[in-house]
Amino acid sequence: MRLTTLVFSLITPLVSLALPVSEYVLHARDAGQNVSSNTPVLSQQAEFSGDVTQCTGYNVDNTTPSSSGGLLIYLTLTNKCSAYGNDISYLTVSVEYETTSRLHVHIYDNDIHQYQVPQYVLPRPDGTTSEDKSDLKFEYNNDPFEFWITRKEDNAILFDTRSKNIPTYTESIQIEGAYSNYTVLPSHPLVFEDQYLQLSSALPDGANIYGLGEVIAGTGYRRNESATVQTFWTRDVGDPVDENMYGVHPMYMEVRWDEQRKKLMSHGVFLLNSNGMDAILRDGVIEYRAIGGTFDLYFFSGPSPNDVASQYAQAVGLAQVMPEWSFGFHLCRWGYTSVNDTRTTVTRMREAGIPLEVQWNDIDWMRAYREFQFDQNYAPDEYKAFVDELHSMNQHYIPIIDAAIGYLYNDSDVFDVYSRGHELDVWMKNPDGTEYVGAVWPGFTVFPDWFNPKMQQVWTEAFYNLSQVVDFDGIWLDMNEPSSFVDGSATNSTIPIENTTVVPPNYTPQAPPVDFPEGYWPNISGYSGNITVNGTLTYGQNGTAPKNTALRRSYTAEIEQAKRNGGSGPSTPDLPDYIPDIPYVDEPPYPIRNQAGRLSAKTVSPNATHYRGLQEYNVHNLWGTMEELAMHDTLLELKPGKRPFMVARSTFAGIGRKTAHWLGDNYSTFAYMKRAIQGVLQFNLFGIPMVGPDTCGFNGNTDEELCNRWMQLSAFFPFYRNHNTKLALSQEPYVWDSVRDASIKAINARYSLLPYWQTLFAKASEGGTPPVVPLFHEFQNPSYLSIDSQFLIGPSVLVTPVLQPNESTVYGVFPNGNGVFWVDWWTHSKVENSNSDNISISLPLGEIGVHVRSGSVLLVYDQPEYTVKETRDGGYGILVVLDGKGYAEGDAKVDDGDSYPVNELTCLSFVASDGKLCSTPQGNYHIDGQVNTITIIGVWNKPSKISFNGQDLDDGQIEYDDQVGRVKVNDVGGNLNQGWTLTWE
């Protein structure tokens, strides 16, 4: 439900307070800049120069050891420059060696008046070690103060703020076709002002940078190191390219090829700061510009990419273990206007034989789009009966809840959730103390103040009451940037609601989307979305078949040169002792590159206040995460002992310990199907591994070919949901026969792999290893650093989709170093790539490349069924792919798939060698299912005898295929709770 798909009658910009409306001019917008310039970002306040070249940084005044064995450095400002704020004269630099791989450097004001992210939102990691035991080394200069971080293993300088090593740029460069004056970097002093912080570090030429999100980068997963401005200001927007959007994750990983070691060396940098911020990349430099807060920096030594991801996750919070059912297929759309509509969809899925695990509802279930109130077509009795029906069939249900709460229009209006929050005084405020009133889907709305200690009570009560009708299994949190459709508060102490001049937008869709499916010619195909009409291919019949431009390799820019596992947080959020008072809260002197314009555009204004006067200016980027913390606690209270499951749009660093994420309001194009891969890789790096896109696209009209390909691709993402907008073409997988068949095939493979998925997510929750990674995480080859058209699920499964329309072959990289080879998941045939690791494979419509790495042993489910429970009840299989020496190994982590926290877990270890496969269990969870089948690939002579635990097996239990060297043993009856051995001769 986003503005991008709707027609509005009126949106009236307002100032946020009880102040007169003043014209807002952002002096330094990028739009329309057709030629390069040397103008830096201009200050929005006349008293500040905007000239950082007059800043000369800080000198070291004194140093002392810290109580934990680190170092405290005291700094004094050399001269006031007032570039974009009031200079802070005295700073402290805290240097702490927290673990062997993590170094914490925090630069903060001595008075501690700058805002810092509370422990409640992101609990700081524990740990102290000594400098001599650390992989990293901190060094600094005194006059001016500059520092650099070195990794001891290879003496590589990972972060370097010495200005002599950092290039400056006095001319702007293009981003997405327009010159951006944000890319003018005239000098690199340390600047620390109340509303502007600046810090730069040198980067190597051609730096391989990943992260700095949430973003859809035009260059793909690897960022454009020559021309990037990444803005951190959460925003409700339909999946733009190279702009700020829903989430804030100021973390990056850099990867370098070490020619001497012949390996990739990686490290990570995380800036913990919740204020609005820009991070600029140009050749040889990264520069941070924040409009508040402190420089709270964490450095991770790596050296492997998986090491960096793991070290980051351990610092910000390990991912929550997910319920097994959440890995099933999910279905939703905006436009199921009744319980009967929704029930019909569930029935049609079952009749088509397409497994459906979780049915969702969008905002259609709400009366007038007001949260917690039922639409007349979702009558409580019928609604409850429908959800109960799903549960009786081992299926699950998730409804949506938007961020804003409906406001009372008059004295006769009744809404108990609003009234309860009003009674306990938990809604966000205007600076004059009145309730801040924006507008979202219900019309006028208020916004929860998550910092108020009574907000949790109101939230839990509301969901408890909802649960008495709708026994939901999870919750979908949307619009929580937070989104508001008007700029500013509609009311204040002098303007009551009945006298407001604000007109909420008309959010009723006026007509079906006017766009035809991508590449379609309306005279041939109309709105059908079919591949052919009357035997004629519809895609590109006007002679201009578009290609997937997201697959291009060139840059889009013109290049000129608390408790992490299980526990919930405290019942009330902690607040700083000092609440900052922001001088220019609406128009800060430095205008971050918020592509919506002013900071209040389409969201709650930065001058809105929270509990004890805390301003939204400092915590805007935390709003969604605060809601997710509250929702997590609510789910634990309503469903104790069960794994909470929510999917949220706006995220901040570390919230993977509480929530899953979907990639937002994408588009029904091949480009956005491809871009989903970079989104999944990005959030796996950010420690939020349960992630996926709106399959087949949300905005616009999909078509048969695109939906066919996308349903198969998303079956190999962690979160798998098909969802689209109101009045667009229906895209449920039963709409087209070819999509139905492709979906069933892919979902069956997904369900077979569920024990593998569960194992990878268990490892993520225990140590932070990401479940989905690019090839370079596993294979030491610098040529793989830009590949994001393929990906790995764990170390053993390689996915190669077709991402171009009208094509049935694709080039894929199949690493072959050190004797590695790959076998096809579907046929078990070996990929012939000994002469090259980049080969073409045939993938007709309805096929996706899925290959298993040699030397792997996978625990799988033996027989995929309609639901996850039925699949699990059917028992297990084991897939073994022997390497060239007849060896393979693997492991699996098995629990009940539902309990929270996980107190019972059994780890299985599998080793195949010399004609023998051994299984060894360790743990306290009793595995109910038996091993039914064992498949071994790479046995090139038919065995004369196969025995299990010394007992010879009957020939009738054994199948052999000499074409692929495959032995399949049926009816094994193996007990996974005990060790066993299978031998073949």
pLDDT in tens, 248-280: 999 999 999 999 999 999 999 999 999 999 999
For position 31, what pLDDT does the model report?
Answer: 53
CA–CA separation, 682 and 387 (whole Å): 34
481 is catalytic: yes
For position 328, what pLDDT does the model report?
Answer: 98
CA–CA separation, 756 and 875 (whole Å): 14
Catalytic residue (one of 478, 628, 788, 895): 478
Beta strand pairing call for 136-141 and 146-151: antiparallel
Instruction: Give the residue among 691, 719, 567, 721 at the shortest CA–CA distance from 629.
Output: 567
CA–CA separation, 594 and 591 (whole Å): 8
Contact indicator for 426, 458 with CB cutoff of 8 Å: yes
Two tokens, residue 165? 């090593």
Two tokens, residue 671? 């480009």
Contact indicator for 105, 92 with CB cutoff of 8 Å: no
CA–CA separation, 617 and 548 (whole Å): 39
For position 502, what pLDDT does the model report?
Answer: 87
* C-alpha of 732 from chain center: 24
Its sign, for the CA torsion 525, 529, 534, 539, is positive
Close Cβ partners of 543 (under 8 Å, ≥ 6 residues apart) = none
CA–CA separation, 385 and 630 (whole Å): 28
For position 7, what pLDDT does the model report?
Answer: 33
The H-or-E segment that residue 627 falls in is helix 623-638
Catalytic residue (one of 135, 628, 665, 694): 665
**Residue that the structure tokens 């060698």 belong to:** 913
Catalytic residue (one of 30, 324, 364, 481): 481
**Residue that the structure tokens 């009816």 belong to:** 971
**Residue that the structure tokens 């510009």 belong to:** 289
For position 650, what pLDDT does the model report?
Answer: 98
For position 567, what pLDDT does the model report?
Answer: 36
896 is catalytic: no
Regions of the chain short of the pLDDT cut 70: 1-32, 507-514, 541-544, 552-572
For position 254, what pLDDT does the model report?
Answer: 98
478 is catalytic: yes
For position 552, what pLDDT does the model report?
Answer: 58
Local structure of 799: helix, strand or coil: strand
The H-or-E segment that residue 249 falls in is strand 249-258
For position 451, what pLDDT does the model report?
Answer: 97
For position 16, what pLDDT does the model report?
Answer: 34
Q: What are phi and psi of 797, to 5 degrees?
A: -120, 125
For position 436, what pLDDT does the model report?
Answer: 97
The H-or-E segment that residue 707 falls in is helix 704-714
For position 520, what pLDDT does the model report?
Answer: 84
Close Cβ partners of 468 (under 8 Å, ≥ 6 residues apart) = none
For position 541, what pLDDT does the model report?
Answer: 66
